[in-house]
Amino acid sequence: MKLRISTWLQNVGIACSIASLLTLFFRLSDFAWMTKSVYHIPVFFVSIFLVSIIIANDVRNLFKRLFWYEKRKVKRPIWQVGIGFIFFLAQISAVMVFSKELTQPQLGGMPLFLVFAFMNAFILTIIYEEIFHRTANQ
């Protein structure tokens, strides 16, 4: 049960990242339908999110093969980096699509939303690990 929830959360994070980044890229186009939104949610985002949910598991498995996850003796470090990256990218892409005004404040030249996204990703990775990634000896 925990494995299915963990996989589902990872896939939703990947799908959110894909949909948000594609929405951000295509928002700059001249096509009027790309900028339509309902209740401040871009229609293009919703359609790409639904497609991304379908391919998110394949994307996750592709990255596992790319980084030789199954061949590693100690899988924990790469697992933590992967989960942290999913949380980080999902936060950044969501801010870029839904709250563009939050990208303006800066902290010594670095956008403040990047600092918060990094801190949140770190904390979420620790919480996620405590819930889903228990070792056999615990």
- pLDDT tens column, 106-120: 888 888 889 999 999
Which residues form the domain of 14? 2-132
Number of H helices, E strands in the chain: 4, 4
Host H or E run for residue 107: strand 106-107
Whether the model pTM is above 0.95: no
Structure tokens at 65: 């093969």
* 138 domain-assigned: no
Question: Is residue 26 a part of any domain in this protein?
Answer: yes
> pLDDT of 29-77, one tens digit each?
776 666 777 777 788 888 899 999 999 999 988 888 888 888 888 877 7
Domain count, the chain: 1
Contact 43, 95 (CB under 8 A): no
Q: Compute the half-sphere exposure of residue 106: CA atoms within 13 Å on the CB side of its CA.
A: 4
In a domain, 137, yes or no: no
Q: Residue 32 falls within a domain, yes or no?
A: yes
- 1 pLDDT exceeds 90? no
The percent of residues in the chain predicted with pLDDT above 90, rounded, is: 23
Q: Is residue 93 part of a domain?
A: yes
